[in-house]
């Protein structure tokens, strides 16, 4: 029996509303001109991630052919690709990522670009396990980009954004651990309030935590991103109309961030990474870390300063490095980025 031909969904303008309809953006190799036009307008194409502060990172790491390096947070592979170019076919780059969906796509993308297992080893593991990546090997350079990749943020099925409706998941590894929806149910009001304050400095944490608990007391549920955003909006209903829209947007961003950090134990993972870091670097080895909110930056700054005082690092950056105004225009998601570096004694 002949299969019925299904017409492809029409590409509705330059920016279709639904993620799955954006087939041009989701195929950058095939629709390069269209994707480039979106990037030039200061937007990130759906399903794609624009690497941040690439030039600054490469300048500091000073990668030489023959060196051994680690990209602790592979993501879309943009940083890895540029580091591989610097190796010029000599040496080796290891990379880790816990996202089974995106890391496999990136493996294929880099293989098609000519970077196979002879120069690149990708391991599906948390970057806190950096001492297990290559146990008998110390690294000349290490990069850790702590941001969530745009591919994860943009895909409604992953539950990272309140702009689209989807399951309230927020797990970087969707095959392990509990979802954000499950985690909300486990917390009491005091715990939720404390988490919102500690993880994202949410100024309305008390009101939002109370509103969440009231939903459960009434026998309701919070299973989707839109449901959670609606609860946050309801908690801020006391605000003047002129202030409310922007305040709700910022509180949603902070609350989703706080819940994501909690679900993925991000602070604990970063702390473990920073403690193990000196032990896997060669003498003179260099590490660069990109952070995206104050909590992460404080942890990195504190660890680098402590190890510097102890003589573990010979040099650390005195002042945080930020992306240029030009880069922030091209890629608005770069605005909150901070880079810190250290050099092993």
Three-state secondary structure of 284-308: EEEEEEEECCHHHHHHHHHHHHHHH
Same domain, 179 and 320: no
Same domain, 256 and 278: no
What pLDDT shows up at residue 6? 47
CATH number at residue 109: 3.40.50.150
Predicted confidence (pLDDT) per residue in 209-261, tens digit: 999 999 999 999 999 999 999 999 999 999 999 999 999 999 999 999 999 99
Q: Residue 193: which domain range?
A: 174-263
Residue 256 located in a structural domain: yes
Same domain, 124 and 93: yes
Same domain, 302 and 239: no
Find how far residue 340's CA is from the centre of its chain.
Answer: 17
Residue 269 to residue 46: CA distance in whole angstroms:
28
Q: Which positions ≥6 away from 138 have C-beta within 8 Å?
A: 68, 280, 281, 282, 285
pLDDT mean across residues, the chain: 87
Residue 10 located in a structural domain: no
What pLDDT shows up at residue 90? 97
Which of 7-11, 54-58, 235-239, 246-250 is the least confident region? 7-11
Q: What is the mean pLDDT of residues 100-122?
A: 92
Predicted confidence (pLDDT) per residue in 20-37, tens digit: 554 444 555 555 555 555
Same domain, 282 and 306: yes
Same domain, 248 and 282: no
CATH number at residue 228: 1.10.150
Residue 137 located in a structural domain: yes
Same domain, 294 and 252: no
The tally of domains found in the chain comes to 2
Residue 249 located in a structural domain: yes
Q: Model pTM greater than 0.85?
A: no
Residue 21 located in a structural domain: no
Same domain, 128 and 216: no
What pLDDT shows up at residue 40? 55
Residue 75 located in a structural domain: yes
Order the strands of the 281-291 sheet from edge to edge: 120-123, 92-96, 68-71, 139-145, 281-291, 338-344, 313-316
Predicted confidence (pLDDT) per residue in 136-191, tens digit: 899 999 999 997 765 566 667 776 778 889 999 999 888 889 999 999 999 999 99
**At 5, is the pLDDT very low, low, confident or very high (cuts 50, 70, 90)?**
very low
Same domain, 237 and 325: no
Same domain, 214 and 277: no
**At 305, is the pLDDT very low, low, confident or very high (cuts 50, 70, 90)?**
very high
Residue 3 located in a structural domain: no
Same domain, 284 and 340: yes
Torsion from C-alpha of 179, 183, 185, 187, nearest 10 degrees: 180
Q: Considering 205, 235, 263, which residue would you say is the last residue of a domain?
A: 263
What pLDDT shows up at residue 37? 58
Q: Considering 263, 283, 309, which residue would you say is the last residue of a domain?
A: 263
What pLDDT shows up at residue 14? 54
* Residues 265 and 171 sit within 8 Å (Cβ to Cβ): no
Same domain, 89 and 233: no
Instruction: Compute how many other C-beta atoms are within 10 angstroms of the C-beta atom of residue 246.
Output: 10
Residue 12 located in a structural domain: no
Q: Considering 211, 235, 263, which residue would you say is the last residue of a domain?
A: 263
């Amino acid at each position: 029996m002949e299969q019925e031909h299904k017409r492809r969904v029409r590409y509705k303008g330059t920016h279709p509303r639904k993620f799955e309809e954006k087939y041009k953006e989701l195929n950058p190799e095939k629709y390069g001109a269209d994707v480039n036009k979106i990037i030039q307008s200061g937007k990130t194409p759906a399903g794609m991630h624009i690497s941040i502060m690439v030039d600054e990172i490469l300048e500091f790491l000073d990668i030489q052919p023959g060196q051994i390096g680690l990209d602790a947070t592979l993501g879309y592979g943009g940083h890895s690709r540029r580091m591989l170019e610097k190796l010029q076919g000599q040496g080796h780059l290891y990379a880790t990522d816990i996202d089974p969906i995106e890391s496999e796509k990136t493996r294929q993308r880099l293989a098609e670009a000519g970077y196979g297992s002879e120069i690149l080893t990708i391991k599906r593991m948390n970057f806190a396990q950096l001492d297990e990546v290559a146990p008998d090997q110390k690294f000349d350079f290490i990069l850790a980009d702590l941001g969530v990749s745009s591919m994860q943020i943009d895909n409604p099925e992953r539950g990272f954004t309140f702009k689209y409706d989807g399951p309230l998941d927020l797990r970087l590894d969707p095959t392990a651990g509990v979802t954000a929806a499950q985690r909300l149910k486990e917390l009491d009001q005091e715990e939720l309030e404390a988490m919102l304050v500690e993880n994202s400095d949410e100024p309305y944490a008390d009101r939002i935590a109370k509103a969440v608990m009231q939903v459960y007391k009434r026998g309701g549920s919070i299973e989707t991103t839109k449901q959670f955003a609606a609860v946050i909006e309801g908690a801020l209903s006391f605000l003047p109309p002129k202030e409310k829209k922007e305040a709700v947007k910022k509180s949603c961003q902070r609350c989703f961030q706080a819940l994501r950090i909690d679900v993925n134990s991000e602070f604990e993972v970063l702390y473990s990474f920073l403690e193990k870091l000196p032990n896997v670097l060669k003498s003179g080895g260099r590490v660069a870390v990109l952070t995206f909110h104050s909590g992460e930056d404080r942890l990195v700054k504190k660890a680098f300063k402590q190890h510097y005082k102890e003589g573990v690092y010979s040099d650390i950056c005195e002042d945080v490095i930020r992306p240029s105004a030009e880069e922030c225009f091209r890629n608005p998601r770069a605005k909150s980025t901070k880079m810190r570096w250290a050099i092993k004694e």
